[in-house]
């Protein structure tokens, strides 16, 4: 297991659609371990394989709090099968868009069909933060980012800001 570098905007790979996983072998299991390691080291609650440069439909989530035992979930080839009409709004951050938080309204409850790391087909109905997190990560697999919910002007501003931070990482941002 090793933490990987997280790709940030404006890298074009983040806009690409990830490929379905055909079989779960040694490489996929190592990728899942690396995703969890990277997510935990970065204090994230979700991470998609594309965020470390691998275009496979694999994502990991863990929305447990500091006081709870970790509750890691692996979703391979996830497909949202149902979304509620009720919505909720969360201020979402993204490890690929550092220091940026955007209020996004999403369906409160989602049902997702996926394969777990053992190859078993699963269904999960989730709501609240877990629902939001899974929808966010599946968006990554489809090449969509939280800044895609914004106007072009705001989106360009954020990308420019992050590009400056990348060029000058020692700069203090307040």
109 membership: H or E segment, kind and range: strand 109-115
* Count of CB atoms situated within 10 Å of the CB of 101: 12
- Number of alpha helices (DSSP H) and beta strands (DSSP E) in the chain: 3, 7
What pLDDT, on the 0 to 100 scale, is given for residue 160?
92
pTM of the model: 0.93
Name the catalytic one among 5, 28, 37, 137.
137
Q: Could you tell me the domains of the chain?
A: 12-167 (3.90.45.10)
The answer to whether residues 62 and 53 touch, using CB atoms and an 8 Å cutoff, is no
The two structure tokens encoding residue 43? 């204090």
Coil, strand or helix at 123: strand
Cα angle 9, 78, 19 (rounded to 5 degrees) comes to 60
Q: Is the dihedral angle over the CA atoms 8, 110, 73, 142 positive or is it negative?
A: negative
Q: Which two tokens stand for residue 56?
A: 């496979």
In the residue annotation, 137 being an active-site residue is answered as: yes
- Grouping H, G, I as helix, E, B as strand and the rest as coil, residue 172 is coil
Distance CA 50, CA 70 (A): 23
**In the beta sheet, which residues pair with residue 74?**
60
Reported residue count of the chain is 174
- 105: helix, coil or strand? strand
Task: From first to last of the 174 residues of the chain, give the pLDDT tens digit.
Answer: 789 999 999 999 999 999 999 999 999 999 999 999 999 999 999 999 999 999 999 999 999 988 899 999 999 999 999 999 999 999 999 999 998 999 999 999 999 999 999 999 999 999 999 999 999 999 999 999 999 999 999 999 999 988 887 777 665 444
pLDDT of amino acid 91? 95
CB 6: neighbour CB atoms within 10 A?
A: 18
pLDDT of the residue at 23? 95
Looking at residue 2, its pLDDT comes to 84
The Cα 73–Cα 61 span in angstroms is 5
């Amino acid at each position: 297991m090793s933490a990987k570098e997280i790709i940030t905007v404006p890298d074009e790979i983040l806009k690409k659609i990830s490929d379905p996983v055909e079989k779960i072998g040694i490489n996929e299991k190592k990728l899942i371990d690396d995703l969890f390691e990277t997510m935990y080291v970065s204090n994230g609650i979700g991470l998609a394989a594309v965020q470390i440069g691998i275009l496979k439909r694999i994502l990991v989530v863990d929305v447990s709090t500091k006081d709870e035992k970790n509750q890691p979930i692996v979703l391979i080839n996830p497909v949202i099968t149902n979304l509620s009409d009720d919505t909720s709004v969360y201020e979402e951050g993204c490890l690929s868009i550092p220091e940026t938080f955007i209020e996004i309204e999403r369906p409160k409850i989602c049902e997702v069909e996926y394969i777990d790391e053992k190859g078993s087909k699963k269904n999960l109905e989730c709501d609240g933060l877990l629902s939001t997190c899974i929808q966010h990560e599946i968006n990554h697999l489809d090449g969509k980012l939280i800044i895609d919910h914004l106007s072009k002007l705001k989106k360009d501003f954020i990308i420019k800001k992050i590009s400056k931070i990348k060029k000058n990482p020692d700069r203090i941002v307040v």
